[in-house]
Amino acid sequence: MLKPEKFPIDKIYVPVKKRKTLKSEVVQEIAESILENGQQAPILVRPDEDRFVLVEGLHRLEACKALGETTIIGLLVSAQVARHEEHHHQDPQAEAERQKTERLRKLRLEKEAAEKLTAASSPALETESAKRPRELAEKKIKATANRRDRSATPTTLSDWFAQQEREGNRY
């Protein structure tokens, strides 16, 4: 378990990529919260020669600077933990864009798979031998529908068998 400790603010280096995500309104809100309640969450830093590199907590660091603090509470993490944290705590907009792209990719793959399945299940060219039974079945269905329209629907199973025999249908 890591133990929170105080780090000199002037010894903490903020990578340029992190600096670009700074939002002054968030710094202001955190500074107000620190004034009222103190620093609640420690920042994460990793060692780098004679300084520390900020891993997580840019807005807390800047809020403490704005309040004139010379030290900040933080946790010292290894470079391996720092890489893990940086990977999982990306810019929210970048993460949202990544998730959107992943959803679109999955939808495209599902659509392509469905199209392939449809193409495979419907033959491009039917042979005459395959076409003939289908046409006969369609004619039989139409004829049966036409006869049903002209004659009463059987009410019992015996009537149905009799009707089938009259129509020459095999059951």
Instruction: Say if residue 82 is in the same domain as residue 17.
Output: yes
Instruction: Look at residue 33 in the predicted model and tell me its pLDDT.
Output: 92
Instruction: Say if residue 84 is in the same domain as residue 96.
Output: no
Instruction: Say if residue 21 is in the same domain as residue 83.
Output: yes
Instruction: Say if residue 14 is in the same domain as residue 52.
Output: yes
Instruction: Look at residue 154 in the predicted model and tell me its pLDDT.
Output: 75
Instruction: Say if residue 52 is in the same domain as residue 79.
Output: yes
Instruction: Say if residue 155 is in the same domain as residue 109.
Output: no
Instruction: Look at residue 2 in the predicted model and tell me its pLDDT.
Output: 79
Residue 72 pairs with which residues in a beta bridge? 7
Domain count, the chain: 3
Mean pLDDT of residues grouped by 10 in the chain (171 residues)? 90 92 92 92 92 94 94 86 55 69 78 81 57 69 60 75 81 63
Instruction: Look at residue 26 in the predicted model and tell me its pLDDT.
Output: 93
Instruction: Look at residue 25 in the predicted model and tell me its pLDDT.
Output: 93
The domain in which residue 57 lies consists of 5-89
Instruction: Look at residue 100 in the predicted model and tell me its pLDDT.
Output: 73
Instruction: Say if residue 117 is in the same domain as residue 66.
Output: no
Instruction: Look at residue 71 in the predicted model and tell me its pLDDT.
Output: 95
